[in-house]
Structure 1
Amino acid sequence: MDKSLSALNGMKTPDAPVGATIMLEDVFPFSLHQIAAWPDTMAKAGAVAAKQIGCASAPDPGHAMIGSAGALLRVEPLKWWLISPDPDVAPPKIADTQGAALDLSHSRTWIRVSGDKSETLLNHFLPLDLRDGAFPPGSVASTAFHHVGITLWREEAGYSLLVPRSFAVSLWELLVETATQYGIAVR
């Protein structure tokens, strides 16, 4: 099997200035599995997905739950994404009558944005109110970044953007270019 590479592999990044207020990170490798259910099987499929990551229950729409093996994001009314920085997390075993699991690991690029000015940076691009009262940690939203559909997840330490792999380089370049005015460090 070929060794997979991040879509951002080899991207040039600016030197980190002293006092950088934004940290960008290409989280790679990782695993991403979509779990879909039908309206009458939501509870059962959600329980299977929650158990897979070590949570007591599945999150409501627009929210995330963090467990010992990763996080479970409710990205749509009938869908969750199970995401983990561990690339070897297996998809949940869901009975055909309850739902379906699909590996999306190679379809997305995971970009983490943190630091004092991360909200300011993202507000250049996202049509969302990212203040704590409107989008607190644990929130998930499907939104658009420069006309590209992405999933945004607010973690305790910052924001995670799950962007389509084919748009990762251009969106990364926009983030880097815009963040340079605030001071940027890249991990």
Structure 2
Amino acid sequence: MAESQSPLGRTFIPGDHGNSAAGVGVTLLERKNLSIIQVTAWPDTIPTVLTAIGSATGLVLQNKPGLGRVAGEKSVFGFAPGRYFVVSATPDLESRLRSAISPELGTMVDLTHGRTVIRISGPRSEWILSKLFAIDFSEHAFPIAYGRATLHHDIHANIQRIDDETFDIYVFRTFARSFWQTLGHAAEEVGYRVE
């Protein structure tokens, strides 16, 4: 898989920023070299498609809204009825999914070059994200591996919780630079590190 040029451009400035005198509240980074496939199951094929995703990735899902799985660089999560993001650092993800999911079961769209994945982690990540999205980011309302589809003004985002303090945010590449700057502004008061 060839590495694509980052849409963040000159706004990606590694190092510590904002009010980091008392420590860094969050770390921001762009996840690269990922395959991102959106799978949509027909209403009567959801259980079969979930089984197929599991056989192609090793990540077994239950048929519950938002439910997901994370294992290292692989993840999968539902964000709407019958719709799933499947993510891996392997270039053959789409071909493995296509061999497991026939057109009679659902559809697939490769979003690899259409999305940017921004990871926010650290003790203040829930708080920073709550400033931008009308979602309860506490772990009881947004458990580990679950996903959500939401908006920040006109910027659509899919968000998956990776662990206690880490979230991956999927945004359209065309909005990535603007959203990255917005995220940095939101994190300034707690200090943030760009890696």
Q: Same fold, TM exceeding 0.5?
A: yes
Contact 1:74 1:80 in 2 (8 A): yes
Measured after TM superposition, the shift of residue 151 of structure 1 is 0.6
Identity of aligned residues (%): 27
TM-aligned CA deviation for residue 67 of structure 1: 4.4
Distance 2:66 2:48 in 1: 19
**Contact 1:24/1:111, CA 8 A, preserved across alignment:** yes
Q: Distance between the aligned counterparts of 1:38 and 1:66, measured in 2?
A: 24
TM-score by length of 1: 0.90
Instruction: Name the CA distance, whole Å, in 1 between partners of 2:72 and 2:169.
Output: 21
Q: How many residues align?
A: 186
Matched, 1:53 2:57: yes
How large is the Cα RMSD of the aligned pairs?
A: 2.1
Q: Give 1:10-159 correspondences, 5 Å limit.
A: 10-13=10-13, 15-16=15-16, 17=20, 19-58=23-62, 60-67=64-71, 70-84=74-88, 86-91=89-94, 92-93=97-98, 94-156=101-163, 157-159=165-167
Q: 1:166 aligns with which of 174, 178, 184?
A: 174
**Normalization by structure 2: what TM-score?**
0.86
Unmatched tracts of structure 2, length 5 or more: none
- CA contact 2:67–2:146 (8 Å) conserved in 1: yes
Contact 1:54/1:69, CA 8 A, preserved across alignment = no
- Which structure carries more relative contact order (alpha carbon 8 Å, separation 6+)? 2
Amino acid at match of 1:168: A
User: After TM superposition, which residue ranges in structure 1, 4 or more long, deviate above 2 angstroms?
Assistant: 9-15, 55-60, 66-69
- C-alpha distance in structure 2 between counterparts of 1:111 and 1:150, whole Å: 10
Looking at structure 1, the residues matched to 2 and 86 of structure 2 have their Cα atoms a distance apart, in angstroms, of 24
SS of 1:26's equivalent? strand
Match of 2:5 in 1: 5
* Cα distance change of structure 1 residues 169 and 28 upon mapping to structure 2, 3 Å threshold: same
From the superposition, tell whether residues 3 and 66 of structure 1 become closer, same or farther in structure 2 (CA, over 3 Å): closer
Aligned-partner Cα distance in 2 for 1:58–1:116: 29
Moved more, 166-175 or 63-72: 63-72
Contact 1:49 1:58 in 2 (8 A): no
> Which whole-Å CA distance do the structure 2 matches of 1:101 and 1:80 have between them?
10
> What is the CA distance between 1:90 and its match in structure 2?
2.1
**Deviation at 1:87?**
4.6
- Taking the aligned partners of 2:55 and 2:159, their CA distance within structure 1 comes to 23
User: In the TM superposition, what is the alpha-carbon distance from 1:104 to its structure 2 partner?
Assistant: 0.7
Aligned residue for 1:95, secondary structure, equals coil
Contact 1:53 1:68 in 2 (8 A): no
The CA distance in 2 between the partners of 1:169 and 1:69, in whole Å, is 23
CA separation of 1:75 and 1:29: change in aligned 2, threshold 3 A: same
Q: 1:182 and 2:190 equivalent?
A: yes
